[in-house]
Amino acid sequence: MFERMRAWSERNMPTRETFERIRWLQPVAHRILLPELWRFHRRSVPRGVALGILVGVLIPVAQTVFAAIFALPSRANVPVAALTTFITNPFTTPAIWAFSIWVGRKLLGHGPTDLAAAAGHIPQQAVGWSEWLLRDIGPALGLGLVVVSVVGAAIGYVIAALTWRMWIARKWRQRLYDRMLRS
């Protein structure tokens, strides 16, 4: 399974050459193509994961572009940030938005907190619907998306950092074991 995921990510991950060919990026190419933004190391990968989750949840369109741009000042790994934005896709976005509305309604103290009950209170008139959308759901969705993206980014950072450390520890153990066998 991990081999298929790795192969898929290698096929779909943007490369430095991809950004070199984009004509409108030429004025900032010297900044985007810095080698440290494309190397995988213990600090840049968790930053890329956190940034990708944050951008993926908060920005509904052109997520990979924004993730690549925001990776520059944060010194995050550009391919990881761009790839992590795919956490939101047509299958996961409705669930993320519903959860964000639920979180936002809880934090704002709106009742009912049950989305099905809230949907039952939707007025059928166009004016009433837009008022419900702007007054009730809009603020709840906005606040919920911010909270979900920040908490998700923090959790993603911790998971990526721990996974990186476990992977390196496993490599060190294997190297030590190989040395012991050779001795």
pLDDT computed for residue 149 by the predictor: 92
C-alpha dist (Å) from residue 60 to 93, 97, 172:
9, 11, 41
pLDDT computed for residue 159 by the predictor: 92
Whether the Cβ atoms of residue 156 and residue 84 lie closer than 8 Å to each other: yes
Shortest CA distance to 69 belongs to which of 87, 86, 55? 55
User: Tokens representing 24?
Assistant: 């409108």
pLDDT computed for residue 113 by the predictor: 45
Question: What gap in Å lies between CA 21 and CA 177, rounded to an integer?
Answer: 45
pLDDT computed for residue 14 by the predictor: 66
* Domain spans in the chain, listed from the N-terminal domain onward: 2-182
Query: Per-residue confidence of the chain (183 residues) as pLDDT tens digits?
Result: 667 877 877 777 667 677 777 777 677 666 667 767 777 788 888 999 999 999 988 888 888 888 888 888 888 888 888 888 888 888 888 888 889 888 888 888 876 544 555 555 555 555 566 666 666 777 888 889 999 999 999 999 999 999 889 988 888 888 888 888 887
pLDDT computed for residue 54 by the predictor: 92
